[in-house]
Amino acid sequence: MKFNIFVAQKEHKSYVDVILSTIAEAAKVRGTGIAKRSPEYILSKIEEGKAILALQDDVFAGFCYIETWGHDKYVANSGLIVVDDYRGHGLAKAIKSKAFDLSRERFPDAKIFGLTTGLAVMKINSDLGYRPVTFSELTDDENFWKGCKTCVNYDILLRTERRHCLCTGMLFDPSRIKPVKEANNSKSKKGLKSKWNTIKKSVFQLNRNNTINGIKKVTAFL
C-alpha cells in the first residue's frame, strides 16, 4: 500500500475536521491521555507549514505536527495519528520520520521532544535517536504544559508537581551527535583496539599452548 506523506499546505485545510475526529476517536478507544486541539489550532499548524499529512490517494490516512517552545530551543512532535484501516503498514514510523526531518531542517539546533503512552511510538522515537528523560529535561514553557489541561490524566500531572505522569518524556538532543569525522575516528579506534585485543589473546593462547606442550615433553622424558 502506497502513501503520500508530505508537509501540508493551505489547500489541505479541508482535512482539519477528519484529523480532529480521528484523534478524538483514538482517545476513546485507547482510554489514555490525548490532549485535545481546536480546529483553529490544527489549521494554524497547516498554514505555518508545521503539519505532516499522509494520504492514500486523496483519503486521509495519518497526521502529525511540530511546534516550537522556549524561544525555539525545543520542538515538540505531537498529535501523531494513523487511521485504523491503514495501520500495520509502517505509516506511523514514516509520518514520525517526516516530522523529525522537518524539525531538524527548520530548527537544527533545537531539542526535539515528545510525550507518549504508546510503546510503538517509544520504539519509533528510540530508532530516531530519542532517549527517555525526566520531565525536568523538557521545556519549561508554561504554554506547552497548559496544553495538557485537556488530557484526562492532567490531575496526575498536577499532583506530582509536573515531575511525571502516565506519559513518558523522550528527547532528541542534537548536541549529543558527534561530527561524522569524530564518529569515524571513534569507530576506527574501537576497531583497532578490538583487533589488538584479539592479537593479544591469540599470542597469550599460543604461549600457553607452547608452555603446556613443553611441560608434557619434560614430564614424558622424566
One DSSP character per residue, 10-41 reads GGGGGGHHHHHHHHHHHHHHH-S------HHH
The answer on 186 and 168 residing in a single domain is no
**CATH code of 121's domain:** 3.40.630.30
The answer on 24 and 9 residing in a single domain is yes
pLDDT by residue, tens only, the chain of 222 residues: 899 999 999 999 999 999 999 988 887 776 655 677 899 999 999 999 999 999 999 999 999 999 999 999 999 999 899 999 999 999 999 999 999 999 999 999 999 999 988 899 999 999 999 999 999 999 999 999 988 888 888 899 999 999 889 899 999 999 988 654 444 555 555 555 665 566 556 555 555 555 445 434 433 434
The answer on 204 and 147 residing in a single domain is no
The answer on 210 and 124 residing in a single domain is no
The answer on 154 and 190 residing in a single domain is no
Q: What is the pLDDT of residue 217?
A: 43
Q: What is the pLDDT of residue 219?
A: 39
Domain count, the chain: 2
**Can you give the pTM of this predicted structure?**
0.75
Q: What is the pLDDT of residue 198?
A: 62
Q: What is the pLDDT of residue 181?
A: 47
| 53 touches 8 (CB < 8 A) | yes
Partners of residue 148 on adjacent β-strands: none
Q: What is the pLDDT of residue 182?
A: 47
Q: What is the pLDDT of residue 27?
A: 75
The whole-angstrom separation of Cα 174 and Cα 181 is 16
Q: At what angle do helices 39-47 and 16-30 cross, to 10 degrees?
A: 120
The answer on 170 and 207 residing in a single domain is no
Q: What is the pLDDT of residue 14?
A: 96
The answer on 210 and 147 residing in a single domain is no
Domain that holds residue 52: 4-177
End-to-end CA distance of the chain: 79
Q: What is the pLDDT of residue 178?
A: 65
Q: What is the pLDDT of residue 220?
A: 41
The answer on 200 and 170 residing in a single domain is no
Enter the C-alpha cell of residue 180. Answer: 561524522
